[in-house]
Structure 1
């Protein structure tokens, strides 16, 4: 798996912190890692972007952006309003492929969800993943509403014949409500793919040293971690509902 594409079921789902966790676990396993952010929006020159945040948390990784636009909008819209050239899927694929010749693992972090547009032609992260023939990791929220957005994302991946590696819960609450607890068992069914990780609430607020040492505990072995989905489900999911006679 030289390239892994990471998308979310929407914005603010914990995608950047999850990307950092995957990077940190890979670095801890002795792998060289690069993170590629095709289009960074809502950040001005000199400000830290998502790739920079991944590097801050994960440590010794190569961080690269292809373009950044100042307004916090979809990349295609942000590029148009800024009067700048958009990023196109083939450019993302070419950059990731080049980084893969120099690193053991390249993480391509999208903007928002899978079908957020990069350009006026409708190019998306899904198109870049197809060009790369790369598996996709989906970062989802824990609570109410996540089943619908996760299943829609999974269906779109399958319609494009893309490999869905699994689902990571971007932020697992300290005190999960009933919806969160039920979603532990419902998310894999909705996605048709396994849970491969769950990050604790406010993981991104940890010190870099604490983040790097703990990150492998949040991810399954397929992501260089030690997290056990069955144990997590047994601990967090509610007891099966028993119907009356």
Structure 2
């Protein structure tokens, strides 16, 4: 795949760190990688944004592109309107991603928040950009309570729009998972209608860059270029009644 869209089931769930892991794995495999952030919100001019964090973790071989930046931590459409700035449109995202794909082996398009967060006053979303690109979508999800509902809603929204879901990555897997997290490992593929593609350890974004790059391949599965084994992860983590 040339373009891969990365969305979340909400905010602060590990989407940027997951994107960095995907980029690090691809770079380590010798692929050229670009990361496209259509709309960065809640970050002042000159401050590092999500694409900067990806480069910090995955390495400066990654090409970072940010289409627009809005200062308030709001949905991109609302933030653009309040700032009196032009919003990002799905066509802008698709055009930028296609240009990057012409010179890179992999383009990762990282959304803001969830799949249906509005880009503009028309209600355009990341899903519209994914449709224009014909790109598969990786869903980054929480590990604990509430994630099954959010993942199923996202999966249904993808199917309703004829979009391909590549699978689910758990964005922040705790060092000591509780019963809910462990049960969710067995339930997530069913509600998503797609497989688990990885589990990024909680706190991975705080690792030294070299350690992050060395570990990234063990956090995502072969579909994403890594060596993470979904069946083995399920065997180790799920409660006995699921085995």
Query: Normalising by structure 1, what TM-score?
Result: 0.98
- Tell me, yes or no, if structure 1 residue 12 matches structure 2 residue 12: yes
Does the residue aligned with 1:102 lie in a helix, a strand or coil?
A: coil
The answer for the alignment partner of 1:89 in structure 2 is 90
1:175-194 aligned within 5 A: 175-194=176-195
Q: Distance in 1 between matches of 2:88 and 2:199?
A: 31
Any idea what the Cα deviations from partners look like across 1:48-91, whole Å, max 9, x if unmatched?
00011001100110000000000000000000000000000000
Q: Distance in 2 between matches of 1:147 and 1:85?
A: 35
Any idea what the Cα deviations from partners look like across 1:86-141, whole Å, max 9, x if unmatched?
00000000000000001000000000000000000111000000000000000000
The answer for the alignment partner of 1:53 in structure 2 is 53
Using a 3 Å threshold, how does the CA distance of structure 1 residues 184 and 241 change in structure 2: closer, same or farther?
closer
Q: Distance in 1 between matches of 2:242 and 2:83?
A: 54
Does the residue aligned with 2:228 lie in a helix, a strand or coil?
A: coil
Give 1:240 shift.
1.2
Give 1:241 shift.
6.5
Any idea what the Cα deviations from partners look like across 1:2-33, whole Å, max 9, x if unmatched?
00000000011100000000000011111100
Structure 1 gap segments, 5+ residues each: none
The answer for the alignment partner of 1:172 in structure 2 is 173
The answer for the alignment partner of 1:226 in structure 2 is 227
The answer for the alignment partner of 1:3 in structure 2 is 3
The answer for the alignment partner of 2:43 in structure 1 is 43
Q: Distance in 1 between matches of 2:242 and 2:205?
A: 35
Count of aligned pairs? 242
- Answer whether contact 2:186 2:242 (CA < 8 A) is retained: no
- Tell me, yes or no, if structure 1 residue 120 matches structure 2 residue 121: yes
Structure 2 gap segments, 5+ residues each: none
Q: Distance in 1 between matches of 2:146 and 2:224?
A: 26
The answer for the alignment partner of 1:162 in structure 2 is 163
Does the residue aligned with 1:218 lie in a helix, a strand or coil?
A: coil
CA RMSD of aligned residues (A): 0.9
